[in-house]
Chains A and B, each alone.
Chain A
């Protein structure tokens, strides 16, 4: 798989983003999300509550004592933790999905970034994502 995606120009300077289709763990519901690539976020996907509840992910949560969020100031904040399946191009990957009311724009963090080779092409303002042969990415679709 190899995807190229232009940076989101909603801010100045534009920021790298990845568009994907996010499914609930039973693959019954889905929504298209645009997530900011954020290597400072150690989780997989972080959603605001509107997207999280919109997809019904609150039905498949981990117990509250299993997960805690930590702000850069060191303060702990509660996080809702569920699961989902993200589709990028032809690849599907099961992953934890987190939610907090503090957020409006989804974040894609290191827990997912480790599954692909992600290159930020600054001059072209393009994010390039590719998976390598033999990667641990769980694939249900056909590879490019």
Chain B
């Protein structure tokens, strides 16, 4: 069993390198930078004012050094924006931070194999993984949430914009128990709408993805969803009659090209592209559009335990119910001083100053009380020994 892991880990590492070399990050890296040059300029000015506050880490000076991170593609746009247009552009030009968006699975692997300085994932590390990590490094792995993002339901046809769905109907659609838009269950949620007799073509991610993980975790655990049988994960066994697309782009293309198409997409992507989308009923029975505000509300009402092992579920009020979190992983020991200082400085900056940039890209930043707790966690970097 042990050899299985090692071999797979080696393979994964090779693949990760390949993926990085193939420019998985390359294209992603360009887009947000170009799109949001305007927004970040605004942010930058405000950053300069607060710059002195961050100085206590490094006595006002900059920290020259390299950081390498790997993991979730879900957060790649915001990480790249933070690094290139935020932190390195305004706060610490001597830093050289490199984030490889190789996927959550790869991020966890590379982090546990100590091949990167930090990892990122849309899944938090479970207790058994943390235990394994402790054995590897001789100290704890620290994980903290960094941003929140929603998963929205997008339609092929403008006609369905604002259609109200709840967890159970979404689950039934993706498990093919509901195959037509005029299904009584959908009509019951939309009593005032004329629905057409049209086949639904559900579109899911064909690649393993954090978006799928967030989406299926909602469908799997939420008390309001009945009859979901596919479980949850970055990849589940979708039934026959659904279709897959690679990446958000692939799902978007499939939704746009198949009449009757309905797919789930990362909110950041939908905000950029402007898809017709569903309102989803939350725990309080309110139908909600996946706006940035609705995601932030969801993130704030969620109860977050001290170990940061949580899924955002049962969101009520004005919160959008299908919301996920991205975590960052770092170690409690074993970094050299420069790396540790740089890690602390960068992530503290991202938590306290990175909010506007995250929002511009469609992610909800941490609320004020959560910021404090995350900063405490960041302070634990290299504190052991």
Same complex? no
Chain B positions within 8 Å of A, measured between CB atoms, are none
Chain A positions within 8 Å of B, measured between CB atoms, are none
